[in-house]
Amino acid sequence: MTAERKTRGPYRKGVERRAQILQTALEVFAEHGERGSSLKEIAERLGMSQAGLLHYFGSREELFVAVLAERDARDTSATRDSVATSGEAVARTAEHNTKTPGLVELFVTLSAAAIDPAHPAHAYFTERYTDLEDAVTEGLRQGQDQGTVRTDADARQLARLLLAVADGLQIRWLLDRSVDMAAAIEVFNQLCAPRDTTVRATA
């Protein structure tokens, strides 16, 4: 029992410290983006050394991946119970991301670098897109069954297009902040709605 308690104490402290680092890193990246952020600033805010910081993540890139994974988890939690469709969830996430431009910049920069199979973020992005595409596809299929999504297009292809639209809009938005990502995604969602049978019959 004593040995078990000794093991639990340091482990719990390690988990808590890692969570503190992630929270601070999220704040720093949200403020400054990938290029303007540094391990030094994150470590200083926490009263740690850079070596101590990397003890919990291994490398700068792995910390980046952990930050994006945490952002994804929070976005999913925030939209899970507040939206009715997958398309709406993507639009609301895009709207929320405009409040953290640094994290959008980090996502775009890291996703491009992760094309290299040897990059530390490659596995994360590969798994992320697989899981996200599956979830959006399932949501669209449910919409097709309920009559809210057009059935003359494959749900998986619609999901891929929706995610491509969202990712492409992030690049446009980083170049021009006047671009309304959520509004553009909503237009795509409208295109996924069933065609008006009355219009087709009289056309």
Residue 54 lies in a domain: no
Q: Which domain covers residue 159, as residue numbers?
A: 61-202
Is residue 201 pLDDT above 70, yes or no? Answer: no
∠203-184-86 over CA atoms, to 5°?
90
For residues 24-40, average pLDDT: 78
Residue 45 lies in a domain: no
pLDDT digits (tens, 9 = 90+) for 127-148: 999 999 999 999 999 999 999 9
Residue 127 lies in a domain: yes
What confidence score (pLDDT) does residue 197 get? Answer: 42
What confidence score (pLDDT) does residue 81 get? Answer: 61
Residue 56 lies in a domain: no
Residue 148 lies in a domain: yes
CATH of the domain at 90: 1.10.357.10
Residue 7 lies in a domain: no
Residue 47 lies in a domain: no
Of residues 10 and 13, more confidently modeled: 13
pTM of the model: 0.81
Number of independent structural domains in the chain: 1
Is residue 25 pLDDT above 60, yes or no? Answer: yes
What confidence score (pLDDT) does residue 142 get? Answer: 94
Is residue 109 pLDDT above 80, yes or no? Answer: yes
What confidence score (pLDDT) does residue 178 get? Answer: 96
For residues 85-113, average pLDDT: 91
The DSSP secondary structure of the chain, one letter per residue, reads: -HHHHHHHHHHHHHHHHHHHHHHHHHHHHHHHHHHH--HHHHHHHHT--HHHHHTTTSSHHHHHHHHHHHHHHHHHHHHTTT-SSHHHHHHHHHHHHTT-HHHHHHHHHHHHHTTSTTSTTHHHHHHHHHHHHHHHHHHHHHHHHHTSS-SSS-HHHHHHHHHHHHHHHHHHHHH-TT--HHHHHHHHHHHTSPP-HHHHHH-
pLDDT digits (tens, 9 = 90+) for 40-96: 888 889 999 888 888 888 888 888 899 999 888 888 776 666 566 889 999 999 998
Tell me how far apart the alpha carbons of residues 106 and 129 are, in angstroms, rounded to a whole number: 16
Residue 14 lies in a domain: no
- Percent pLDDT > 70 in the chain is 85
pLDDT digits (tens, 9 = 90+) for 145-199: 999 999 999 999 999 999 999 999 999 999 999 999 999 999 999 999 998 643 4
